[in-house]
A and B are shown apart, each in its own frame.
Chain A
Amino acid sequence: MKTQNVLKTENQMIHTPKKVKNSKNKTIKIIIYVLLIVLTIISVIPFYMMIINATRSNKEIILGFSFIPGSSLIDNYKTMIEYVNIWVGFRNSLFVSVCVTLLSGYFSALTAFGFAVYQFKGKNILFLFMLIMMMVPGQLGLIGFYELNKFLGTLDTYIPLIIPAIASPFVVFFLRQYLSSTLHPSLLEAARMDGAGELRIFHTVALPIMMPAVATMSIFTFIGSWNNYLVPLVMLFSPDKFTLPVLMGFLKGSQVAENLGSLYLGIAISVVPIMIAFLFFSKYIINNISAGSIKE
Chain B
Amino acid sequence: MKNINYKGYYFIAPFFIVFLIFNVYPVFLTFYYTFTQYEGYGKPTFIGLDNYARIITDTYFLEAFMNTWKIWGFNFILQLGIALLLAALFSDLRFRIKGLGFFRAVFYLPNLITVSSVALLFGIMLDWQYGSINQLLLNIGIISEPIHWLNQPFTAQLSVSLILTWMWFGFTFIVIMAGVSGISKDYYEAALMDGANSRQTFTKITMPLLKPILLYVLITSLIGGLQLFELPMLMSKNGLGEPEGSLNTMVLYLYNQAFRYNNYGYAATIAYALFLITVIFSAVTFKSMYRDAKVMKNRGE
Check A255 for interface membership: any CB of B closer than 8 A: no
Query: Which A residues lie within 8 Å of B26 (CB)?
Result: 141-145, 147-148
Check B8 for interface membership: any CB of A closer than 8 A: yes
Give B75-117 as 1s and 0s: 1 = Cβ < 8 Å from A's Cβ atoms.
Answer: 0000000100010011101111101110111111110111111
Query: Which A residues lie within 8 Å of B46 (CB)?
Result: none
Contact, CB under 8 Å: B216 / A144: no
Query: Which A residues lie within 8 Å of B110 (CB)?
Result: 43, 46
Contact, CB under 8 Å: A140 / B30: yes
Task: Enumerate A235-266 residues with CB–CB distance to B below 8 Å.
Answer: 244-246, 248-249, 251-252, 260, 263-264
Check A44 for interface membership: any CB of B closer than 8 A: yes
Task: Enumerate B247-301 residues with CB–CB distance to A below 8 Å.
Answer: 251, 254-255, 258-259, 264, 267-268, 271-272, 274-275, 278-279, 282
**B48 → chain A closest CB, angstroms:** 18
In the bound complex, CA of A140 to CA of B188 (Å): 46
Q: A145-B26, A167-B16, A271-B117 are in contact. Are A140 and B97 (CB under 8 A)?
A: no
Task: Enumerate A209-235 residues with CB–CB distance to B below 8 Å.
Answer: 223, 226-227, 229-230, 234
Q: A4 contacts which of B1, B101, B166, B188 (Cβ < 8 Å)?
A: B101
Contact, CB under 8 Å: A163 / B18: yes
Interface centre among A46, A144, A172 (most CB of B within 10 A): A144
In the bound complex, CA of A111 to CA of B101 (Å): 36
Check B164 for interface membership: any CB of A closer than 8 A: no
Contact, CB under 8 Å: A113 / B11: yes
Check B181 for interface membership: any CB of A closer than 8 A: yes
CB closest chain-B residue, reference A164: B22
Check A291 for interface membership: any CB of B closer than 8 A: yes
Check B47 for interface membership: any CB of A closer than 8 A: no
Check B213 for interface membership: any CB of A closer than 8 A: yes
Q: A14-B189, A118-B4 are in contact. Are A260 and B120 (CB under 8 A)?
A: no
Task: Enumerate A148-188 residues with CB–CB distance to B below 8 Å.
Answer: 148, 160, 163-164, 166-167, 169, 172
Contact, CB under 8 Å: A143 / B94: no
Q: A141-B30, A283-B101 are in contact. Are A293 and B271 (CB under 8 A)?
A: no
**A15 → chain B closest CB, angstroms:** 6
Contact, CB under 8 Å: A144 / B27: yes
Contact, CB under 8 Å: B93 / A282: no
Q: A227-B115, A286-B174, A289-B171 are in contact. Are A248 and B120 (CB under 8 A)?
A: yes
**A220 → chain B closest CB, angstroms:** 12
Contact, CB under 8 Å: B105 / A139: no
Check B64 for interface membership: any CB of A closer than 8 A: no
Q: A36-B103, A126-B12, A143-B268 are in contact. Are A3 and B130 (CB under 8 A)?
A: no
In the bound complex, CA of A234 to CA of B166 (Å): 27
CB closest chain-B residue, reference A50: B121
**B96 → chain A closest CB, angstroms:** 5
Q: A148-B25, A164-B23, A286-B104 are in contact. Are A126 and B11 (CB under 8 A)?
A: no
Check B143 for interface membership: any CB of A closer than 8 A: no
In the bound complex, CA of A278 to CA of B76 (Å): 25
Contact, CB under 8 Å: B97 / A32: yes
CB closest chain-B residue, reference A277: B112
Q: A18-B94, A110-B15, A229-B115 are in contact. Are A135 and B234 (CB under 8 A)?
A: no
Query: Which A residues lie within 8 Å of B119 (CB)?
Result: 248
Check A74 for interface membership: any CB of B closer than 8 A: no
Contact, CB under 8 Å: A118 / B120: no
Contact, CB under 8 Å: B108 / A202: no
15 more contacts with CB within 8 A, not counting A114-B9, A136-B27, are: A12-B96, A36-B103, A39-B82, A46-B122, A50-B121, A118-B6, A142-B254, A143-B26, A143-B30, A144-B29, A267-B120, A270-B114, A285-B112, A290-B177, A291-B178
Query: Can you give 28 contacting A-B residue pairs, CB < 8 Å?
Result: A3-B177, A3-B181, A36-B99, A36-B103, A39-B86, A43-B107, A43-B110, A44-B106, A114-B9, A119-B8, A133-B19, A135-B282, A136-B27, A139-B254, A140-B30, A141-B27, A142-B258, A143-B33, A146-B258, A164-B22, A229-B116, A229-B230, A248-B116, A249-B116, A249-B233, A270-B117, A278-B109, A278-B112
Interface residues of B (CB under 8 A from A): 1, 4-12, 14-16, 18-19, 21-33, 82, 86, 89-91, 93-97, 99-101, 103-110, 112-117, 119-125, 129-130, 132, 135-136, 139, 166, 170-171, 174-175, 177-179, 181-182, 185, 188-189, 192, 213, 216, 223, 226-227, 229-230, 233-234, 251, 254-255, 258-259, 264, 267-268, 271-272, 274-275, 278-279, 282
